[in-house]
Structure formats: C-alpha cells, structure tokens
Amino acid sequence: MPENDRIHAEMLAAFRSYLICEEKSELTIAKYLRDVAAFAVFLGEEPLSKEKTLAYKAELMERGRYADSSVNSILSSIRAFLKFIGRSDCMVKNLRIQEMPFNPEEQCLTQGEFERLLNASKDDRRLYLLLLVIFSTGIRVSELKYFTVESFRSQRDSVRVTVRCKKKNRRVLVPDGLKRDIVSYIKEKGLRSGPIFCTKSGRALDRSNIWKQMKRLCKRAKVAPSKVFPHNLRKLFARTFYEQTRDIVQLACILGHSSINTTRIYVKTTEKEVRSRMERVIEKRYFERRKDTTLSA
C-alpha cells in the first residue's frame, strides 16, 4: 500500500510545517489540522480514495450540525491537505450554495443592542473601550494586539495603527474621539509599552478571553448570546458605514478585504429590513386595499 494511502501523525506534522511556511495564521493552521484529523478518524483503517471523501462529504451533510458554508469550509481544509500529499485524485467539490439576500434575524446585532452592551460594560473600562475599538474601526479581534502604547505615543495628531493579517499590512484609521479615550486609558492605567488590551502580566488578550467577557454581558444587556461575539461588531461597523456612505469599494479597503464579494456578505441586513425596503420601493398604492381573507376549501 502506498505511503500516502493513509493519514498518519508524520503526515499531519509535515502538513503543519507546510502551512507555517505558507504563512497561514495560527487559527487557520489549527482549523486545517482539526478538519483533517476528523477526516482521518472517519477513515479509520480504510485507505484514501475519492469514494471515501465523497462518503465523508455526505456524512457532514447528513449530520445536520453544519451549515452548508461550514461543510464547504471543512472540504476546503481537506482539499488543501490532499493536494499537499499528492492525492488530488481524492478531492471533491464544494456544495453549491444559493446566496441568501439577508442574514438570519437571530444573528444580526443591531445598533441599539450594541449600545446596551456598551452600557452594561461601563464598570469594566477595558472591556468598554475594547468594544468601542472593534466597532469604531472594523478591525478583526486578532488585530487588537497591534493597538500598542507605542503606536499612540508616536503620533500626536491623527493616529493610524498598522496591522498585519493574511500576509498584508494595513493601516487602520483611529477616529479622534476614540484616540482621546485610548490615550486617557493609557494614562489612567499607567501603561508604558506593549499592547493596550492586555492581561495583568502584560500579554495581549486572546480571542478566548474576549469572547468570554463579551458573553458575560448578554444577560445584563438583554441581548441574545447568539449575537454577541467579536466578529459581529466588525460586521455591525461594516453595515453602519455602508448605510451612511454606500461606498463598498472604500469599505473593502477599510476591512482589509481582497474581494468586494466578501464585503457584500458583511453588509447584508435582515429579512425584516429587506421586507421594509421592498415595501418602500413598491408602494402600497399599487395594490388593492382590502382586508385580509383566507382561502376556503
């Protein structure tokens, strides 16, 4: 049996080294390895084959635990691995997904809900400012570590924070009001260097810490936990900016997107809002005004 007919630990270690050389982020590497390891468990002692990959794809679809987009994400990880080990013959295609014109209501954070989260966090100055930073700049939570004392000390007027993500450097503009609040926080905490949003030991807060802190606000703010996570603040920024400017090209630059198609996903609103817009476009006077009736058999 050929060496690359079964997935083993040495193969995964080599794949990890390859991803590091490709300059993938730590989170991306962890996801790829997790997805491939789950595929290996599914295979068990069976050799690699396209039939087996198709069977795994079918199982992912049948479980009901994954959205179609999540299934495609897992398949993308497996494709990258199969290509790496020279088994492109085992690769399968993604699911074809009809893009919905709106986001589910239960996942879309509103401006009012964000303000309630801010009010609920006022006793925690660091968390309050952290929420404001993500919403006001549209940064990824992984980019918070680039907000350092040095970046604010070296710029007296307008502040631009340089972040690095996905092999690209991007300058993040900091609104003046936010700059003043951050400078005030730095002085208040006596921070001299390093990341502004950090633990007591001076290490930058990680995604897990921030996630947990945000979730604890939900009950007090009366906001559904399904809506409260860092990336949703980035999406709220995107929708708010787009509603005011209608400039999707500039928004893509601010968010650091290589494709405007990605940005379009961010600015999708809810079904309720889409219905409201349709009502405004197609005015009620074009329809006969009558009471609702029900069809009888």
Backbone angles phi, psi at 295, to 5 degrees: -75, 135
How far is the C-alpha of 176 from the C-alpha of 161, rounded, in Å? 13
- For the chain, residues classed under CATH 1.10.150.130 are 3-90
pLDDT per residue as tens digits for the range 180-215: 999 999 999 999 999 999 988 888 998 889 999 999
* pTM score of the predicted model: 0.73
Report which secondary-structure segment, H or E, holds 164.
strand 159-165
- pLDDT value, residue 234: 96
Per-residue pLDDT tens, the chain, 297 aa: give them.
456 688 999 999 999 999 999 988 888 999 999 999 999 999 998 999 999 999 999 999 886 678 888 899 999 999 999 999 999 999 999 998 766 667 778 788 999 999 999 999 999 999 999 999 999 999 999 999 999 999 998 666 678 999 988 778 999 999 999 999 999 999 999 999 999 999 888 889 988 899 999 999 999 999 999 999 999 999 999 999 999 999 999 999 999 999 998 999 899 888 888 788 778 777 666 665 555 555 554
Whether 192 contacts 205, CB under 8 Å: no
- pLDDT value, residue 38: 95
Whether 168 contacts 210, CB under 8 Å: no
Enter the CATH code of domain 105-273.
Answer: 1.10.443.10
- For the chain, residues classed under CATH 1.10.443.10 are 105-273
- pLDDT value, residue 296: 54
3-90 has which fold? Answer: DNA polymerase; domain 1 (1.10.150)
